[in-house]
Amino acid sequence: MPSNGTTMNGSSSCPLVNGASSNPLQVYTIAANNITASFIPYGARLISLMVPDREGKMQDVIVGYDDPQDYVKDTLTNHTYFGCIVGRYANRIRNGTFVLDGTTYNTPKNELNKTQTLHGGSVGYDQRNWTVTALSNSSITFTLFDSGYEHFPGDVINHVTFSVSSSYGLKSSNPQAEFTARTVSLSLTEKTPIMLSPHIYWNLNAFKNETVLEDTLLQLPLSSRYVEVDSRLIPTGHIGNVSSSPNGTLDFTKEKFVGKDIKSADGICGANCTGYDNCFIIDRPNNVSDWTSSPQTMAPAVNMSSVATGINMLVTTNQQAIQIYSCNGQNGTIPVKGSQVARNKASGDGNGTVVDKIEQYGCLVIETEGWIDGINNPDWGQDPFQIFSPESGPAINWATYVFSAS
């Protein structure tokens, strides 16, 4: 959702890797066979991800802009958070306040007429100029030193490493390409909440259709529960069963089209909203032979595929939950990337109609993260995954996105 704030803020003091630029809008590209990803330091932001469809044609499955400068303009207008890392605390903080060891902290209120905090405050990690501290052909690392930004306690150093790999070209009956996002954050001076998340907008049909509703199949195999929220998308404290949601609209434990039950999702995504903007809990099963029930074991959280392109994506994560947003707020005012439009025109895709605007339900956001606003719901027992100190281990958000085509 939109919020106001300044841009181009706070480059960290970490040294640049050789060959990197201090320009926060410099584009960096990493690649492996049949997968290419591009980034800018502004927000440690993914701006393009190319993978093959069922015909072997390369498709950009990321929503955003071709011109890096447009991300700065977006911050001042729509503030979509396209492709960035959000933090220090992703999602919402009720009333912009939390209590830690008896001390009350107040973070900037940047959403809903300044009544609550969204994605870290008025100038979150999405608006910071991260430093490129490592770079290879297939990986890139960004670093940000947070010296108490947005009234959060203490100093935190953050690293995010993106990498790509591929089994294309190898002797594989089912070739796959893999994209990995891994954030590692260390509390340096004080106990503090930390919950970073990649905020990537996906469109696996590469805008060959106006929406994802009747094209994109979604499954959340381990999410039979969700965090109930009020009209402001703030948790009520209750945990619901997806099977009990209206008409089972939140039940994606079995694969179904995104649009199958979306009309029943009236009010589930906030006031005057129909669609999804919900936190699904990842319940890891016990006694599984190939991975344990440890609360931070990598788990297969999301399966998603497009009928139009045949592109399949499997998301595994070590996080406790996953936020799904069905781009309810898009309304056709933001253009599709010119490169995506040109690619569809050249291939004749879209049944004679070329999609050039991002319409409502034209994409899906997947945020791997913890239980939202867990810092204000101590009864949930999520502090070990959200509160960190110099004495604790790092906060790690690890997500892999495996692509195949069929």
Query: What is the pLDDT at residue 126?
Result: 98
Catalytic residue chosen out of the listed positions 79, 119, 159, 199: 199
Q: What would the pLDDT profile of 357-394 be if each residue is shown by its tens digit?
A: 999 999 999 999 999 999 999 999 999 999 999 999 99
- Residues 134-158, mean pLDDT to the nearest whole number: 98
Q: What would the pLDDT profile of 194-244 be if each residue is shown by its tens digit?
A: 999 999 999 999 999 999 999 999 999 999 999 999 999 999 999 999 999
* Average pLDDT score, the chain: 93
Can 210 be counted among the known catalytic residues? Answer: no
- Residues 317-332, mean pLDDT to the nearest whole number: 98
Inform me whether the pLDDT recorded for 2 exceeds 70.
no
Query: What is the pLDDT at residue 287?
Result: 52
Inform me whether the pLDDT recorded for 163 exceeds 80.
yes
Query: What is the pLDDT at residue 18?
Result: 72
352 vs 70 pLDDT, higher one: 70
With a pLDDT cut of 70, the percent of the chain lying above it is 92
The whole-model pTM stands at 0.94
- In whole angstroms, give the CA distance from residue 5 to residue 86: 14
Inform me whether the pLDDT recorded for 94 exceeds 60.
yes
Q: Fold for 28-405, please state it.
A: Beta-galactosidase; Chain A, domain 5 (2.70.98)
Helix (H) or strand (E) holding 346: helix 338-347
- Residues 90-94, mean pLDDT to the nearest whole number: 99
Query: What is the pLDDT at residue 323?
Result: 99
3-state secondary structure of 237: strand
Can 199 be counted among the known catalytic residues? Answer: yes
Cα 158 to Cα 186, 326, 396, distances in angstroms: 7, 28, 10
Query: What is the pLDDT at residue 5?
Result: 38
Inform me whether the pLDDT recorded for 290 exceeds 70.
no
Provide the residue ranges of all domains of the chain, joining segments of one domain with +.
Answer: 28-405
- Residues 320-339, mean pLDDT to the nearest whole number: 98
Other Cβ atoms less than 10 A from the Cβ of 100: the count is 16
Q: What would the pLDDT profile of 9-44 be if each residue is shown by its tens digit?
A: 655 557 777 777 789 999 999 999 999 999 999 999
Query: What is the pLDDT at residue 174?
Result: 80
- In whole angstroms, give the CA distance from residue 209 to residue 193: 40
In the 8-state DSSP scheme, what is residue 285?
Answer: P
- In whole angstroms, give the CA distance from residue 390 to residue 406: 47
With a pLDDT cut of 90, the percent of the chain lying above it is 87
